[in-house]
Structure 1
Amino acid sequence: MTSTSAPPATRLSPATIRGYALGSVGTGGFSTLPGLVLAYYLTDTLGVAAAVATFVVFAPKALDVVLNPAIGALSDSWARRTGSRQLFLRVGAALLPVFFALTFAVPDGVDATIGAVWVGLAFVASAMAFSLFQVPYIAMPAELTDDYHERARLMAWRVAVLGVAILLFGAGGPQLRELGGGGRWGYLVMGVVAGAVLGLGMFAASRIAPRRPPSEVTAGGEASFAASLRVVRSSRPFRMLVTASALQAFATGTMLASAQYAATYVLGNEDSVSFLFAALVGPAVAVMPLWSRLVRSWGKRRAYLLASSLFLAAGVALLGLLAGTGGWVYGVVAVAGVGYAGMQMLGMSMLPDVISDHERREGGAVRAGAFSGVWTAVETIGLALGPALVLAILAITGFVSSTDDAEVAQSQTAIDGIVVAISAAPAILTALSIVALYRYRLEAETAHAQNGSH
């Protein structure tokens, strides 16, 4: 790659590491909290039938399949003309808090049908605002450094903050709901406070967006939706990596969406969802330095396979909930957390390697936005499929929806369906992702894994 398309391989400054990591407050929070509570909000507060809630949760996210690659192409074009993607980042950071709060602001007295439409429209607007930030945010590492290990270091800090964000929103979101009095008012309080925190994290990341004179940015490549999609066909390593990422997003989205149902109907305590999240995220943050060391000794691909295998094993072990509950559940979830942290860090640190490899082969053309647009579209649809799959399993197994004034006893079949959703479904999806990872090959990965640390 020419020097005009990437900075020299220098050590990233603490301010850059810190600023980029803070963006995970926004990406982690928006990916976690709706996946955890939105389906539950629809079925158990607004009284929306599980089948209808499936459509409401999934359909808005499906728009990202078209929207994100288009935003990626536009951000590439903007970066060539202005030297920075910062405008996209800041517009997304400003709009998301507003639409996120509106998603959980369905007024009292509104029936289930109108409530479902309200949530669907507000969630579409939220997803659009989030995409304006997320696509250029994911493109930034390839432009911040071209060093294999610095990218791993950048992602280690990002995922550490991501873990804190997941804990903050996963455990704190339901607590905010209860502090707000539960029911519709509780969700509104949660939406307003959580939305503000999302926006602050996203704005912090926008401040460290690379800035270069337009003349220093290599022109080249068509900035269009079709050109973004051609990225998938032109890079086999990208296809394998994005397939693994999508399947793992599907798996984690399924586990997240089923956690609240498992806490309420399997563990018998709605509030235990906060403890499940603490068990998932606490170990994940603590072991991040171990994943960084494994990258230096094993390389990213081998470490990624280990992380995925741990998450798979935990999913299989959670099938034990069919026999009974106990403290062992939190230990198994902690193992899943260790694997999840590695999966997040390693996949995201391999993406800029793939981008650099492609840009080098294409003569230095600016294509990071095209890659990140397709990546985030596929990842978003994977996360959205998680709640949709959970709701489909609930519908098939006879789960009965309710409003916040009525409690419904569930059949044993419905409870078993919840167990399958939190265990077998994520395990199968993760196993498929491992197959894709085995087919991933990149020259830079092999070279750096052999050379070890610089």
Structure 2
Amino acid sequence: MSTAARPERASARLSARTVALYAIGSLGTGGYATLPGLVLTYFLTDNLGVAALAAGLIVTAAKIWDVIIDPLIGAASDRQYAKTGSRRGFMVVGALTLPVLFALTFAVPPSWGPFAGGISVFLAFLATATSFSLFQVPYVALPAELTSGYDERTRLLGWRVVVLTAAILLFGAGGPELRSAGSDQVSGYLLMGIVAGLAIGVGMLVASRTADAAAHRPEAGERPAVTPPAGFREQYAAGVRTLRRSQPFRALLGTFLLQALATGTMLAAAQYVATWVLRSEDAVTLVFLALVGPALIAAPAWTALARRIGKERAFAIASILFTVAAAMLVLAAWMPGTWMYSTIGFAGVAYAGLQSLPMAMLPDVISHDERTSGRGRAGTFTGVWTAGETVGFALGATAVSLTLAATGYVSTVAGATAQQPDAAITGIVLSFSILPALLMVASLLTLRRYRLRRADIDA
């Protein structure tokens, strides 16, 4: 490929159809990221009677499996791309298998007891996570192959986040409503699992068609400049080499991991905040409306700001705003009330930027590495990236469960009631406020080390 051809490809505008197909994939990724993080730990502790610490370990262990397999899936996706020019095969398998496995995760009845019920949920969620990774890892690799333009990637990921935000609203608010629509908690959770699983699978299947658009770009016909690794050991080694080689990737991944931990902690604590701080299990719907409604409106504004001042600066501004909002929520420990919704809404404005901007920066990191190391490693990058994101969200749930266990939270089975000690209520508030704020502050320190700018990408 000649150097003269690069500017033309960088400025080429993606078709509306390609942008729409790619964005629809966030119906799947948003649903999978939101609903289990919101209700799975609560499902274990307050429906199956699993102890809070054990519930956190179940969710974390399933996520650790993601960390193990994501680099392998990334390398396998690179091999498929080298052979066929497309990453679609893995995406389709994930989309077709996830709905059944997702429904099975919430199909376990309380009558099985905490031990058998916990093991069953763990195995079903483990299989669900595998299906999702088969889709997610190649899906995240596609923007680097769909367009070379700095601003065009921001546009592509900006619209993806609009759909992602709508999906978070749909699943975060609609999931608990589906649960309430059942004749009891057991049938309610099953209904939620079936409907949500189908919706997630459809979004993933539609988005898999975007891989064909990447396959038909001019440079898609070129064979990758590097040979994708074969063998488990070499695939993991390739991921380590990627981290060592790319300083921008280390900085961006560290920032994103810390922020995934922060948002994962808030997500896992949201249902507990609704039940024990706002004193209504159904208030979780309002919490999500407050968080995601403003984000849906703000997503295009972050795209526009990134075009004007650069992605990295806009990302820093969004991170600071989210930190301030999270820290303010600690006041709920002394005076809980409806004022919390407006503060959560303030965090929602920032949350839109936290979702779109790092995902738009990742393709820049990949293309920057390609200039010195050759094409064909996008899957390796996204395998490591997805594993890091998974670690963040998994440890978020773990942090909440450890806090609950340390403060004496009382687990129950479906239909039973319990009175929580004051220390447990305080722990819930801290998990929803101060802990995420501190993690966001740490992420700002790693973001300062990210040095790629527009000129480095469009040069």
Normalised TM-score (structure 2): 0.95
Give the corresponding residue for 1:12: 14
Q: How do residues 237-248 of structure 1 correspond to structure 2 at under 5 angstroms?
A: 237-248=248-259
Alpha-carbon separation, structure 1, partners of 2:255 and 2:444? 7
**1:318 equivalent in alignment to 2:333:** no
1:291 aligned residue (296, 302, 324): 302
Aligned match of 1:78: 80
Cα drift, residue 108 of structure 1: 5.0
Distance across 2 between alignment mates of 1:215 and 1:337: 42
Map 1:93-108 onto structure 2 (within 5 A).
93-107=95-109
Cα 1:74–1:50 change in 2 (3 A) is same
Cα shift at 1:225: 2.6
Letter of the aligned partner of 1:164 in structure 2? A
Q: How does 1:161-180 map to 2 (within 5 A)?
A: 161-180=163-182
C-alpha deviation, 1:182, in angstroms: 3.8
Distance (Å, rounded) in 2 between the aligned partners of 1:306 and 1:233: 28
Q: Distance in 2 between matches of 1:7 and 1:122?
A: 47
CA distance in 2, matches of 1:190, 1:416: 30
Q: 1:215, CA displacement in angstroms?
A: 5.1
Aligned to 2:267: 256
For the residues of structure 1 that align with 2:2 and 2:393, how far apart are their CA atoms? 36
Q: Does 1:216 align with 2:222?
A: yes
Does structure 2 retain, via aligned residues, the 8 Å contact 1:81–1:214? Answer: no
Instruction: Tell me, yes or no, if the aligned pair for 1:5 and 1:366 is still in contact at 8 Å.
Output: no
Residues 72, 228 of structure 1: 8 Å contact kept? no
**Is the Cα contact below 8 Å between 1:39 and 1:57 reproduced in 2?**
yes
**Structure 1 residue runs without a partner (length 5+):** none
CA distance in 1, matches of 2:225, 2:6: 9
The TM-score, its normalising length taken from structure 1, stands at 0.96
The aligned counterpart of 1:436 is 446
Alignment correspondent of 2:44: 42
CA distance in 1, matches of 2:351, 2:438: 15
In structure 2, give the amino acid aligned to 1:418: I
Task: Compare 37-46 and 318-327 and name the one that shifted more.
Answer: 318-327
Task: Tell me the SS of whatever aligns to 2:418.
Answer: coil
Q: Which residue of 2 aligns with 1:394?
A: 404
Q: Shift of residue 289 of structure 1? A: 2.0
Query: SS at 2:119's partner residue?
Result: helix
User: Percent identity among equivalent residues?
Assistant: 52
2:366 counterpart of 1:355: yes
Partner residue of 1:414 out of 409, 419, 424: 424
Letter in 2 for 1:155: L
Which string of whole-angstrom CA distances, capped at 9 and with x for unpartnered residues, describes residues 15-56 of structure 1?
001000000011111011000000000000000011111111
- Aligned match for 1:111, one of 105, 110, 113: 113
Tell me the distance in 1 between the aligned counterparts of 2:341 and 2:150.
35
- Structure 2 distance, partners of 1:38, 1:391, is 12
Partner SS for 1:111: helix
SS of 1:310's equivalent?
A: helix
Aligned-partner Cα distance in 2 for 1:237–1:390:
31
Q: Is the 8 A contact 1:61 1:127 kept in 2?
A: yes
Mapped contact 2:296–2:352 kept (Cα < 8 A): yes
Displacement of 1:249 in angstroms is 0.6
Distance 2:128 2:415 in 1: 28
Q: C-alpha displacement at 1:287, in angstroms?
A: 1.3
Do residues 265 (structure 1) and 276 (structure 2) align?
yes
Aligned partner of 2:352: which letter? A
Cα distance in 1 for residues equivalent to 2:396 and 2:189: 21
Q: 1:352 to 1:44 in 2, by over 3 A?
A: same
Amino acid at match of 2:223: V
Corresponding position of 1:368: 378
**Aligned partners of 1:6, 1:367: CA distance in 2, in Å?**
22
Contact (CA 8 Å) 2:264, 2:392: kept in 1 or not?
A: yes
* 1:279 lines up with 2:305 in the alignment: no
8 Å contact 2:364–2:457 — kept in the other structure?
Answer: no
Query: Structure 1 residues 349-358 or 281-290, which shifts more?
Result: 281-290
Other-structure match for 2:203: 201
More deviation, 177-186/269-278: 177-186
C-alpha distance in 2, partners of 1:59/1:137?
A: 24
Q: Write out per-residue CA displacement over residues 187-242 of structure 1, whole angstroms, 9 at most, x where no aligned residue.
A: 11100000000000001100121225985232414422321221111101000000
Report the counterpart of residue 454 of structure 2 in structure 1: 445
How does 1:133-212 map onto structure 2 within 5 Å? 133-209=135-211, 210-212=214-216
My pick for the range that moved more, 285-294 or 245-254, is 285-294
| Aligned structure 1 segments of 4 or more residues deviating by more than 4 angstroms | 1-7, 212-215, 446-449
In structure 2, list runs of 5 or more residues that go unmatched.
Answer: 230-234
